[in-house]
Amino acid sequence: MIITTALGRKVEVAANYTIDQPRDTYTRDEHDRWDRLYNRQVKILENRACDEVLDGLQVLNLAKGGIPNFADISKKLMALTGWSIAPVPDLVPDEVFFEHLANRRFPAACFIRSEDQLDYIEEPDIFHDIFGHVPLLSQPVFADFLARFGQLGLEAMKNNTLKYLARVYWFTVEFGLIETAGGLRIYGAGIASSKGESVFSLEDSAPGRLPFDLLQVLRTPYQNNRVQDRYFVVSDFEQLFLALENSFADVVSEAKRLGDLEHIYS
């Protein structure tokens, strides 16, 4: 079917919004841009990202040069955690997104940001999706957590509780920090793929860094177009996985009953 994406692209996609990764149409400049982004960011993440992120980059061989081939990554992920990459043009509708996650497919944008967006791009491109998100999918506990999140997302669409699910995603998958033996580290993709926020999230004195608490996360609104003024810190990925277990629906009900916390950006 032919669709117009959230970013205004008119593309032919399969029923689940996937496309073939346009391997042949990436230009030399675009491959080179990936390499520059990769090399710059991997240096910044040294001693800032958690070991699981850094190991994932290694295991998936994302440093080999040029825009990665999704099929190669999928083969490796499949063997490690049963996940694969679903190439999509850009943002996909919520239901499609959750459906992919629930089935252990990560929808990844195929386009790469332009030269003038090297430092910041609001919408997810291939660098954000692959460099930021995919390394952790090689880690079993996180991989299980994200598949479970996809199932809960599908349920949330029926129950009208999507805003709560979005907050969990935002404060963990995108902007989560983790406590490690070596100190505070980054695991969220929104941070890990951002030059500025990688440093800001750990080293700036302005933002709050609060222990992860599901009820508080569910009650905390966020804005998607600026650096965070608070981060939630998990003690390990097990804690993240357990947060979505049996009592999740009850905690959502409690969050609904108590209402949102005051908007954090005043």
Q: Is 193 a catalytic residue?
A: yes
Q: Name the phi and psi angles at 89, rounded to 5.
A: -65, -50
Determine which one of 84, 138, 193, 194 is catalytic: 193
Asked if 154 and 102 count as a contact pair (C-beta separation under 8 A), the reply is yes
Q: Is 263 a catalytic residue?
A: no
Report, in Å, the least distance between residue 169 CB and Fe ion. Answer: 8
Nearer to Fe ion, 143 or 189 (CB): 189
Query: Residue 142: CB partners within 8 Å, gap ≥ 6?
Result: 52, 136, 187, 237, 240, 241
Nearer to Fe ion, 104 or 251 (CB): 104
Q: Is 100 a catalytic residue?
A: no
Report, in Å, the least distance between residue 129 CB and Fe ion. Answer: 6
Tokens representing 7 are 């970013």
Closest alpha carbon to 221 in 168, 146, 149: 168
Report, in Å, the least distance between residue 189 CB and Fe ion. Answer: 5
Asked if 265 and 206 count as a contact pair (C-beta separation under 8 A), the reply is no
The count of residues interacting with Fe ion (CB under 5 A) is 2
CA distances from 156 to 40, 74, 114, 151, 249 (A): 38, 28, 35, 9, 9
CA distances from 215 to 246, 251, 255 (A): 14, 6, 6
User: Interface residues for Fe ion in 103-142 (CB under 5 A)?
Assistant: 124
Tokens representing 160 are 């009208």
Report, in Å, the least distance between residue 24 CB and Fe ion. Answer: 26
Nearer to Fe ion, 228 or 251 (CB): 228
Residues 189-218: x/- map of binding to Fe ion (CB under 5 A)? x-----------------------------
Residues 40-59: x/- map of binding to Fe ion (CB under 5 A)? --------------------
Determine which one of 52, 100, 133, 198 is catalytic: 133
Catalytic center residues = 128, 133, 174, 193
**Residues lying near Fe ion in the complex (CB under 5 A):** 124, 189
